[in-house]
Amino acid sequence: MSATLFISDLHLSDERPAITALFLDFLKERAAGAAALYILGDLFEVWLGDDAVLPGYVPVLRGLKDLTAGGVPLYVMHGNRDFLLGEQFARECGCTLLPDPTVIDLYGEPTLLMHGDTLCTDDVDYQQLRTHLRRAETQREFLAMSLAQRLAVAGRYRAESRERSRSKSEAIMDVNQAAVEAILRHHHVRRLIHGHTHRPGVHRLAVDGHAASRLVLGDWYEQASVLACDAAGCLADAVPSTHSLR
């Protein structure tokens, strides 16, 4: 039986061509035989708008289109780096853009899918910045800029984000347990799959006396992490590579 695959936090960019090459191989090989592929945010390190696709991303869009043309359903969720992915991108790739959060029926188990950044409620500075960047007015102003201006703004935000992260504890940048329990309770589900934190693992918890689980996807830095789910359950592994991912 074909498995449903989940990945996130690839952060594809020209600075890490080995990751792009590995991802394209993944699309041609393993993903081509999947029941479906879900990308839960931060496929790209930065997305400047559907009208400003960087040259290094063109092969990725072609690879995604080849996947969907071959009959594999593709679902993409916005991350904190590529939240400007829009309908033109979706049409060109043949994918479906998913709202965050989304509940799916995963082999009979209602499962909540998220990027995961909204669960990091202890990181107040980040949540305030996220609210600002997701405003329609902010995005309209950004998309009205020239490509050079967009690159400069995105570069500044990335540098500021790295600087802020250095001064924060790991606990602050991880998910808040109460937020996790609240979102599971709100959607009446007992399983959550998300990315964002780059801390892969399976976390067991109880919500209102019921057993629940939180499956965290790994990034594609040290290894190319994939979560494969079928009727028997979910198993995380890594895509083998003959190249250094650094």
Is the domain covering 4-239 a CATH 3.60.21.10 domain? yes
Q: What's the full length of the chain, in residues?
A: 246
pLDDT band, residue 54 (cuts 50/70/90): very high
Q: What is the mean pLDDT of residues 121-130?
A: 94
Q: Is the confidence at residue 217, as pLDDT, over 60?
A: yes
Q: Is the confidence at residue 142, as pLDDT, over 50?
A: yes
Does the global pTM surpass 0.75? yes
Instruction: Copy the structure tokens of residue 176.
Output: 């808040």
What's 95-133 look like in SS3?
CEEECCCEEEEECCEEEEEECCHHHCCCCHHHHHHHHHH
CB 126 within 8 A of CB 81: no
The CA-CA-CA angle for residues 10, 16, 21, to 5°, reads: 75
Q: What is the mean pLDDT of residues 37-53?
A: 97
Q: What is the mean pLDDT of residues 136-154?
A: 96
Between 62 and 244, name the one with better pLDDT: 62
What's 158-201 look like in SS3?
HHHHHHHHHCCCHHHHCCCHHHHHHHHHHHCCCEEEECCCCCCE
Can you say whether the dihedral through the CA atoms of 4, 71, 73, 69 is positive or negative? positive
Phi/psi at 185 (nearest 5 deg)?
A: -65, -45
Between 222 and 84, name the one with better pLDDT: 84
- CA 114 – CA 102 distance, rounded (Å): 7
Q: Is the confidence at residue 65, as pLDDT, over 50?
A: yes
Q: What is the mean pLDDT of residues 234-245?
A: 73
When the pLDDT of each residue in the chain is averaged and rounded to a whole number, the result is 94
Residue 72 identity: V
- CA 43 – CA 113 distance, rounded (Å): 15
pLDDT band, residue 245 (cuts 50/70/90): low
Q: Which residues contact 175 (CB under 8 A, 6 or more apart)?
A: 116, 119, 120, 194, 197, 214
